[in-house]
Amino acid sequence: MPLAAATTRLAPAEGWQKAYVFSPDNVRLCWREHHAASVPPQRPALLCLPGLTRNGSDFADLGTRLGPGWRLIAPDLRGRGESGFARDSLSYVPLTYLRDLSLVLETAGVARFVVIGSSLGGLLALRLTTAHRAAMAGVVLNDIGPAIEPAGLARLRANVGRGGNWLTWVHAARDLAARNAAIHPDWALHDWLAFAKRLCRISPQGRIIFDYDPRIAEPFRLPHGDAGADDWAAFEQLRGLPVLSIRAALSDVLSAATQAEMARRLPSLRAVTVPGVGHAPTLAEPAAAAALDAFLIAVERGERE
């Protein structure tokens, strides 16, 4: 079912446009797009995939920074942001997300792309190789890998679908800061306010609530909700592509050992650790931004050769 018309969100950041397409099961899929007219048409697009409870607005700052030189496509996965809620909660699974992303790519006319995937978005980046390997020009895995630490997985499972209902944005920001203090220990109130406005919306009743369907938790909490997936095998399919692994130093999701094993299996992989943050970096941190800029320069150079 579509989101209620009375729902209120902040206007998209300057330079972003929104577009929509309906999935075969009648879910409205939204994506944000940012690009300048001067972007060379042959340059790959940047397909920006958010985490489990997040949406395309997480990449607003990235669009401001990279938009003059790159076309960015930032989808809201079904059940998040301005994409509709699914009638069947069991469609909130990677297979359906991948089908939705294929439809978005086709509708947006994207022939070649670099995936920038945070958390769940990174796992989807791995699995996009099944249908889109030939169109992929590179992959950025933001604090995610083929193996997830049990403690981090347990935390994510416990948090997803938890209610949130606040009177003001400041109330929401302070509560989110208390819940996530270990992830961004250096953030001030204005950082948490910006975080809240990316993660939440104003309900028809005028309260601040999370901007996603709480039922996305249902398949995620099943003991074997993603049985049969072999993400190490999917990771191996990235061989021959430029790959950047960004790890948060305080992460409870991607361990240093897993990142080292990724580098062992894929010797060309670029790896960076972002100090002072947990799962997941915003990509605005100096270490992450510098690594991403250098990576995209290498991708562009490789595309010309």
CA-wise closest residue to 83 among 157, 156, 19: 19
- pLDDT score recorded for residue 228: 46
- pLDDT score recorded for residue 229: 62
The token pair at 48 is 């920006």
Q: What does the DSSP assignment read for the chain? A: -PPPTT-B-PPPPTTEEEEEEE-TTS-EEEEEEE--TTS-TTSPEEEEE--TT--GGGGHHHHHHHTTTS-EEEEEPTTBTTSPPPSSGGG-SHHHHHHHHHHHHHHHT--SEEEEEETHHHHHHHHTHHHHGGGEEEEEEES--SS--HHHHHHHHHHTT---EESSHHHHHHHHHHHTTTTSTT--HHHHHHHHHHHEEE-TTS-EEESB-GGGHHHHTSTTTTTT--HHHHHHTTTTS-EEEEEETT-SSS-HHHHHHHHHHSTT-EEEEETT--S---S-SHHHHHHHHHHHHHHHHHHH-
The token pair at 61 is 């700052």
Query: Beta strand 243-248 with 270-274: parallel, antiparallel or unpaired?
Result: parallel
- Residue listed under structure tokens 């039922």: 215
Strand partners, 200: 210
* Per-residue pLDDT in tens (0 to 9) along the chain, 305 residues: 344 334 554 455 567 899 999 999 999 999 999 877 788 888 999 999 999 999 999 999 999 899 889 999 999 999 999 999 999 999 999 999 999 999 999 999 999 999 999 999 999 999 999 999 999 999 999 999 999 999 999 898 888 877 789 999 999 999 999 999 999 999 999 999 999 999 999 999 999 999 999 999 998 777 655 544 689 999 999 999 999 999 999 999 999 999 999 999 999 999 999 999 999 999 999 999 999 999 999 999 988 77
- pLDDT score recorded for residue 226: 54
- pLDDT score recorded for residue 305: 72
190 phi and psi angles, rounded to 5 deg? -65, -30
- pLDDT score recorded for residue 224: 55
- Helices 169-179 and 189-199: angle between axes, nearest 10 degrees: 100
- pLDDT score recorded for residue 1: 38
Domains of the chain are 16-158+228-304 (3.40.50.1820), 162-211 (no CATH)
- CA 24 to chain centroid: 23
Kindly calculate the radius of gyration of the chain based on its CA atoms and give it in whole angstroms.
18
